Amino acid sequence: MQKNANLAQTLAIDSQLRIPGSAGRILKQIRDIEQVAPLFRDAGLIKPVNRPSTVNLAVSGIAGHSCIKKALGGFIYASAAVRTDLLIQENKVSTTGSDSLSEIDDIDFEAQRKRLDLVEMRNSYALVERMLLQNSAVDLILIDTPLFIGRDMIPLKRHDRHWAEYQKTSSSIEQFWKKHREILYPWNSNGPILTSILAERFGAIVSIARQDLRTVEGRKHILSSDGFTGTSVPQIDALETSLSGIGDTRFINGILGNFTRTIAFRMTENRSRMEPSSEVEYGVVGFHFRSARTSQLKLAQLAGDEADWNTETLDLVASRLMILDMQSQKKSMPLPQLLSMQQLSILDKFTDYYRQGLNEALQKNDIEKTWLAGLDEEFTA
Which residues, in sequence order, are CB contacts of 166 under 8 Å at separation 6+?
118, 149, 153, 154, 155
pTM: 0.84
* Per-residue pLDDT tens digits for 122-155: 999 999 999 999 988 899 999 999 999 988 888 8
The pLDDT of residue 222: 82
User: Cα 77 to the chain's mean position, in Å?
Assistant: 22
- Residue 202 has a pLDDT of 59
Out of 1-5, 47-51, 227-231, 364-368, give the one with best mean pLDDT.
Answer: 47-51
Cα end-to-end distance, the chain, whole Å: 94
CB atoms within 10 A of CB 80: 24
Ranges 38-42, 153-157, 256-260: which has the least confidence: 38-42
Predicted pLDDT at 11: 81
Q: Work out the pLDDT band at 252, boundaries 50, 70, 90.
A: confident
Can you give the pLDDT at residue 1? Answer: 47
Helix (H, G, I), strand (E, B) or coil at 159: coil
Q: Are 122 and 113 in contact (CB under 8 A)?
A: no
pLDDT, tens digit, for every residue of 275-302? 999 999 999 999 989 887 677 888 999 9
pLDDT in tens, 93-130: 999 999 999 998 888 888 888 999 999 999 999 999 99
Q: Which amino acid is at 81?
A: A
Q: How confident is the model at residue 303 (pLDDT cuts 50, 70, 90)?
A: very high
How far apart are the C-alpha atoms of 186 and 277, rounded to whole Å?
19
**Cα 26 → chain centroid:** 29
d(CA 306, CA 304): 7
Strand partners, 254: none
Given this model, what pLDDT does residue 321 score?
Answer: 94
Identify the residue with better confidence: 195 or 252: 195
Task: Flag whether pLDDT at 176 surpasses 60.
Answer: yes
Task: Choose between 353 and 220: higher pLDDT.
Answer: 353
Q: What is the pLDDT of residues 59-88, one digit of tens each?
A: 999 999 999 998 877 888 999 999 999 999
Q: What residues contact 93, with CB distance under 8 A and at least 6 apart?
A: 86, 87, 335
pLDDT of residue 355: 87
Cis peptide before 146 (omega within 30 of 0): no
Q: For the domain 57-197+337-357, what is the CATH code? A: 3.30.420
